[in-house]
Structure 1
Amino acid sequence: MGEQLPAFSAQGIHCIDTGLVRPGFDAAWLVVEQGRAAFIDCGTSHAVPAMLQALARLGLGPEAVDWLILTHVHLDHAGGAGALLAHLPHARVLVHPRGAPHLIDPSRLVAGATAVYGAEEMARSYGQVLPIDPARVHCASDGQSIDLAGRALLCIDTPGHARHHLCVFDARSRSWFTGDTFGISYRELDGPHGHFIIPTTSPVQFEPGPLKHSIGRMLALQPQAMHLTHYASVGQVERLGQQLIEQIDAMVAIARQQAQGDAQTLEQRLFDALSGYYAGRAEQAGLSPAQVLPLLAIDIRLNAQGLVCWLQRGLD
Structure 2
Amino acid sequence: MGSARILDGVTLLLYFVGVVLGVPVSTSSPATQKISPEIGVTTGKSLADSSTPTIENTSGLSELEDECQFAWQRFLIDFGAKYKNANETEKRRNVFCANWRAIVEHNVQYEKWAEPFKKDINQWTDHTIEERTSPAPEISKEETTTSVSKIENYDIICQAAWEKFLIDFKPTYQDDTETEKRRNVFCDNFKSIHKHNVQYDLGNISFKKGINQWSDLTVEEWKNKQRPALNPEFSKIETTTKISKDKKDDSTCQAAWKKFLIDFGAKYQDETETEKRRTIFCDNWKAIQEHNVQFELGVQSFKKGINQWSDLTVEEWKTKQRPNLAPEFSKEETTTKISKEKKYKKNVF
TM class, shorter-length: under 0.3
With a CA cutoff of 8 Å and minimum separation of 6, indicate the structure with the bigger relative contact order.
1
- Radius of gyration: which is bigger? 2
Higher helix proportion: 2
Q: TM-score when scaled to structure 2?
A: 0.21
